[in-house]
Structure 1
Amino acid sequence: MKTIQRAVTRTLVGTSLVLGAAACSDEFLQVTNPNVIDAATVNPTTAGATLAASAQQNFAVAYGWLAMYSGWFTGEANVSDTFPTRNEFGQRTISDLNGSLNGDVWGPISLAVASAKTVLDLDLSTPTTNISLARAATFRGFSLLMLASDFCTGTISSGPELTTTQLLDSAAFWFTRGIDVGRANATADGIALSNAALVGRARAKLQKGDNAGASTDAAAVPSGFEYNLRYTDDANSRTRLSNRLYQFSFDRGSISVAPWYRQNDPRVPSRAPGSGTAAPQDAVPGGFYQQAKFTGYASSIRLASKLEAEYIVAEASSNATTQLALINARRTANGLAAYAGAMDAASVKAELFNQRALEFYLEGKRLADFRRSPASVTSITPSGQPYFKPGYGNTGTQTCYPLPRAERDNNPNTAGK
């Protein structure tokens, strides 16, 4: 059996040394740290389910942060927050010393990657059908996919710096494990995880440029499929358990719907200034438009769906006729007239990406779109143009997040690089 160790493990050695010198024989000074787990006392079967659920929740926490910060970075939302570190994301001028980059973005997604591996390293029974392994593999895949999508480079478990392609390959590997084990498990939960992993692998292949592989995976996703991350309204643990987008829209007025998205489209509902919105943290030119897509602390966030798979198939086809069919189907479904713009391939692709932007608003997908096909993402402020807030410089040239300096300094494989 492998040793199981929690990230929160701490010792009380210093305290014992100080107090023990005064009264080392007193029994009341003998302290047992409840956060230290003895591997010999752990049943891997029952622990596997608990740790896998924890890994999934670690990803859900990270995904909320990632969706918010990438929303600012790609112009889905204006930063109505006073933190300079958060305005760096909106301005696309992120320093590797940025505290929010390290604490809110890098730290949570790195924890999600690592905690999933803890489960995958356990000697669990029936490994080809074990639901805990299906869960851990699927969410390790999504964690690595988000690292690949949002960061310029990444590291795993204090390893060497990896390129986007390497991270995408790693994500695809774990998605394959999630697909295989989930299908073999054959329960409703197992099948749902396998289909989510199938969408994730299609997304990873599309991001890498493997259009044929992406299309094959996406086409295999069953009709009507949707996998949502669930959140809870727990007043004692909202940072851990609640929907981050709602929390930062209503508890802290940090997310203002950007002008391009105020289209009266049902996919991006918002509250205009003066309509009962919460007060913004910082003044926003044009007024604070509060997102109304996520309406409570317990609102779920869509992670994977057949709808996304349909967009992947259309994009991967590189066929304007195929793309127009999906564009007009989605416009009709949302009460809009058929597309009447230019019909050249680049214009149709841009409209496909416009519809994607509305469909998956604040769902953490827009930064991947921007990196994959920047010419098709027309709603983002071009580099060199003024930032929307006065008193700041122009919008920067970044297309992804730098590796935090703290990771470089503390990782023996990246220190000094």
Structure 2
Amino acid sequence: MIPMQRVVRRGALVALSGLSLAGCSDFLTVSNPNVINASAIDPVNDAATLAASAQQNFAVAHGWYAMYQSWMVGETLVAETFPTRNEYGRREVLNTNGSHNTDVWQPISVALSSASAVLNLTLPTPTSNLSYARAAAFKGLSFVYMAESFCVGVSNGGGLLTTAQMLDSAVTSFAQAISVGTANASADGIQLANIARVGLARAQLQAGRTAEAIAAARAVPAGFVFNIGTIDDPAQRTRLGNRLWQFTLDRGSITVAPAYRIANDPRIRFRSPAQHNLAPQDPASGPFFIQDKYPAFNTPLRLASKLEADYIEAEATGTAAQLAFIGARRTANNQPAYAGAETATAVLTEFLEQKGRDFYLEAKRMGDSRRRPANVLNLPVPGAPYFKAGFAQIGNQTCWPLPLQETDNNLNIPRT
């Protein structure tokens, strides 16, 4: 795979400037290295750079989604005063919410559009071109994130897309990534194909196509893991660093929710107030239990894995497979054997609880909660008081609205 440092340096190429810098003799005048003349870009020769930028754009979006979804599904509490962010903890996100537009909608829209731009290029050896495989894989993931989180979606300024349409678009992109990556046959190509196989299984499960989900999940090789790389660059932490650590250390925004302060489970790593000297941005949020899964700016973030594929296969297969997988995950993490009821509902609830622990703060639980709302534990309860005074009670949102900036400026969205 392209090293993350290389991906990062090329990220600026997605937003090209049509302005050229005038020459001057004033030695105090310097050029801005972040402004790129569009005429200097050769789309064919620079396709690998553009595809790498699309991948990095998705990496940026993933960090935001992991954080904002964690508030929405109750993995963490909002430890800050911003009303826009507390809307997520209250499950009542307004379309006028500025953070919703800039932190959530824009990053996934940029990831989707930049991947689409690469796929719209005419490149040599299209059936095996690595840039196509990379762009298709991350376009598919962008559609999955949009489908799992937003009530409706939009792609590249087009009309409204239903959840089903977004998932179908993801499936199409993943199929291209698998085909092209496999035909490319390089280590990068095979890795991209496997990322796409995990994404395909996820999209098919969310769409309710269990047989297709099982087939895609089984095609993921044993031991496969793909992590989003991060680096600790003080000048670029918002784009290149680990978002969850940034908003733990620098902002004090994330406190581990009480239901996840689980002792002796290695999957839920956190530090109590007695174990650190950090403070929440909002003192009214109570004791600051910080996540310790991502303890540094350069801690990688797992994106796709055989473990996720195995969870998808077991869920799609049925109760017996879920029960067996519960036992395997409990044993692997030194937990006592499951002693609950073995009805389909009870087993699925326990199964998704084990999945929630395995993928804590990995932007997967919101999709689970929309697919299986009765079987996901610890969601903020509609109508219950918010955990902080001065805010309205918890709402009943299960998905997010499009921001007003999109609906007001997109001519393809009907005005009501």
Q: TM-score by structure 1 length?
A: 0.92
Q: Does 1:273 align with 2:279?
A: no
2:45 partner SS: helix
In structure 1, the gaps of 5 or more residues are 17-25
- Look up the equivalent residue of 2:415 and give its one-letter code: G
State the 1:339 CA deviation: 0.4
2:348 partner SS: helix
Kindly indicate whether the alpha-carbon contact (under 8 Å) linking 1:271 and 1:277 is maintained by their aligned counterparts in 2: no
1:20 equivalent in structure 2: none
Change (3 A) 1:276 1:316: same
2:15 equivalent in structure 1: 7
Kindly indicate whether the alpha-carbon contact (under 8 Å) linking 1:119 and 1:133 is maintained by their aligned counterparts in 2: yes
1:70 equivalent in structure 2: 69
2:143 equivalent in structure 1: 144
1:30-49 equivalent positions in 2, closer than 5 A: 34-38=35-39, 42-49=41-48
1:282 equivalent in structure 2: 282
State the 1:342 CA deviation: 1.4
Kindly indicate whether the alpha-carbon contact (under 8 Å) linking 2:78 and 2:285 is maintained by their aligned counterparts in 1: no
State the 1:199 CA deviation: 0.5
After TM superposition, what 4+ stretches of structure 1 lie above 4 angstroms from structure 2? 10-13, 26-29, 31-34
2:106 equivalent in structure 1: 107
Determine the C-alpha separation between the residues in 2 that align with 1:6 and 1:61.
13
Change (3 A) 1:97 1:49: same
Kindly indicate whether the alpha-carbon contact (under 8 Å) linking 2:72 and 2:380 is maintained by their aligned counterparts in 1: no
Determine the C-alpha separation between the residues in 2 that align with 1:166 and 1:279.
43
Q: Does 1:119 align with 2:118?
A: yes
State the 1:7 CA deviation: 3.0
Kindly indicate whether the alpha-carbon contact (under 8 Å) linking 2:89 and 2:380 is maintained by their aligned counterparts in 1: no
Change (3 A) 1:259 1:27: closer
Determine the C-alpha separation between the residues in 2 that align with 1:116 and 1:252.
31
2:293 equivalent in structure 1: 293
2:188 partner SS: helix
1:186-335 equivalent positions in 2, closer than 5 A: 186-264=185-263, 265-283=265-283, 285-318=285-318, 320-335=319-334
Determine the C-alpha separation between the residues in 2 that align with 1:44 and 1:408.
31
State the 1:351 CA deviation: 0.2
Identity among equivalent pairs (%)? 52
1:46 partner SS: coil
Determine the C-alpha separation between the residues in 1 that align with 2:272 and 2:304.
30
In structure 2, the gaps of 5 or more residues are 1-12
State the 1:46 CA deviation: 3.0
State the 1:390 CA deviation: 1.7
Task: State the superposition RMSD in angstroms.
Answer: 2.0
Kindly indicate whether the alpha-carbon contact (under 8 Å) linking 2:327 and 2:337 is maintained by their aligned counterparts in 1: yes
Determine the C-alpha separation between the residues in 2 that align with 1:285 and 1:160.
40
State the 1:286 CA deviation: 4.8
State the 1:121 CA deviation: 1.2
Change (3 A) 1:131 1:393: same
- Look up the equivalent residue of 1:339 and give its one-letter code: Y
Change (3 A) 1:301 1:346: same
Determine the C-alpha separation between the residues in 2 that align with 1:286 and 1:279.
10
Kindly indicate whether the alpha-carbon contact (under 8 Å) linking 2:229 and 2:299 is maintained by their aligned counterparts in 1: yes
Q: Does 1:340 align with 2:339?
A: yes
State the 1:59 CA deviation: 0.4
Kindly indicate whether the alpha-carbon contact (under 8 Å) linking 2:14 and 2:53 is maintained by their aligned counterparts in 1: no
Determine the C-alpha separation between the residues in 2 that align with 1:416 and 1:85.
25
Residues 162-205 of structure 1 deviation map (CA, whole Å, 9 limit, x = unaligned): 10000000011001100111111111111111001000011000
Determine the C-alpha separation between the residues in 2 that align with 1:11 and 1:416.
35
Q: Does 1:387 align with 2:386?
A: yes
Residues 279-311 of structure 1 deviation map (CA, whole Å, 9 limit, x = unaligned): 110125551100000011111111111000111
- Look up the equivalent residue of 1:62 and give its one-letter code: A
Change (3 A) 1:115 1:275: same
State the 1:260 CA deviation: 0.8
Determine the C-alpha separation between the residues in 1 that align with 2:79 and 2:285.
10
Kindly indicate whether the alpha-carbon contact (under 8 Å) linking 1:349 and 1:376 is maintained by their aligned counterparts in 2: yes
Determine the C-alpha separation between the residues in 2 that align with 1:362 and 1:32.
40
- Look up the equivalent residue of 2:304 and give its one-letter code: A
State the 1:415 CA deviation: 5.3
State the 1:36 CA deviation: 3.2
Determine the C-alpha separation between the residues in 1 that align with 2:105 and 2:285.
30
Determine the C-alpha separation between the residues in 2 that align with 1:273 and 1:153.
40
Greater Cα radius of gyration, structure 1 or 2: 1
2:53 equivalent in structure 1: 54
Change (3 A) 1:415 1:8: farther
Residues 122-156 of structure 1 deviation map (CA, whole Å, 9 limit, x = unaligned): 11111111111110110011011101111110111
2:220 partner SS: coil
- Look up the equivalent residue of 1:361 and give its one-letter code: Y
1:256 partner SS: strand
1:19 equivalent in structure 2: none
Kindly indicate whether the alpha-carbon contact (under 8 Å) linking 2:143 and 2:169 is maintained by their aligned counterparts in 1: yes
Kindly indicate whether the alpha-carbon contact (under 8 Å) linking 2:181 and 2:190 is maintained by their aligned counterparts in 1: yes
Change (3 A) 1:44 1:269: same
- Look up the equivalent residue of 1:224 and give its one-letter code: G
Kindly indicate whether the alpha-carbon contact (under 8 Å) linking 1:268 and 1:361 is maintained by their aligned counterparts in 2: yes
Residues 4-46 of structure 1 deviation map (CA, whole Å, 9 limit, x = unaligned): x953536599xx9xxxxxxxxx9889x99953312xx543443
Q: TM-score by structure 2 length?
A: 0.92
